[in-house]
Structure 1
Amino acid sequence: MSDQTIDLAPVAETKAIKKPTTEFAVYFAIIFIATLPLAIFTWALSVLRSGDLKQKGPVARAWTQARIITPMIFAA
């Protein structure tokens, strides 16, 4: 007679990916608008120092900062 049982490690449940909420979008927009002036300033300084426009633009910099900061607020 053979053993028909299988000892597998318990599988962790995967979390369903949620669609971003309206609240998240509002916070994202506020943070994006707040970081835009500083992103423009730092971008202008870096262009003046290096003379190179190959770096990320000010909108991309502000977008990146908003993508970093907003989830931190919701995780707290």
Structure 2
Amino acid sequence: MRTPPKDEAAGHGAGRITYSEVIEVGGIQIPYDPRIISAGLRERMRLNRYESGEALKATLAVRDGDRVIELGAGVGYLS
């Protein structure tokens, strides 16, 4: 169960989640939520160092038409 942002919890903008920052990692935009993303992880994402090794390996291994199941517990970058 997710915890709604303060404005949604108060009834403002119900159903719409807003983020103060969006971090781009390898061309993917990830909304920054400090409840999920730590300061250290945020910095690695900003420097394009978040899961960069895994992303490179995936681009080398996965071909068009391949089916992949990704069982991660991160913020959804590789997914």
TM-score, scaled to structure 2: 0.29
Report which of the two has the higher share of helix: 1
Report which of the two has the higher share of strand: 2
Higher relative contact order (CA 8 A, sep 6+): 1
TM-score, scaled to structure 1: 0.30
Whose Rg is larger?
1
